[in-house]
Amino acid sequence: MIIDELLGLIRRREVTWTGTVLPAGIADSARSHQQELQMFVAVRALSMGAGYSEFESDEIASAVMTRLG
């Protein structure tokens, strides 16, 4: 399952920050949750790179973040 694979990458520190431009509306909120947002964006990008749609990738990234706690 992709969620377990992504969690494995995170645990092995194979997922790192990716430079992302944030929309102005969420920039302030993002500053207070920067690490979580960066991880979400990285996981979402990996999922999309694996062929999942944007919608599916959002759900996958949300599930990964929930399991990370």
Q: Which pLDDT tens digit goes with each residue over 11-58?
A: 888 876 555 565 666 666 656 667 788 888 889 999 999 999 999 999
In a domain, 18, yes or no: no
d(CA 57, CA 50): 9
The residue range of the domain holding 44 is 1-10+30-69
Residue 50 has a pLDDT of: 92
In a domain, 25, yes or no: no
- The total number of structural domains that make up the chain: 1
- pTM, two decimals, is 0.65
Decide: 10 and 47 in contact? Cβ < 8 Å: no
d(CA 42, CA 19): 9
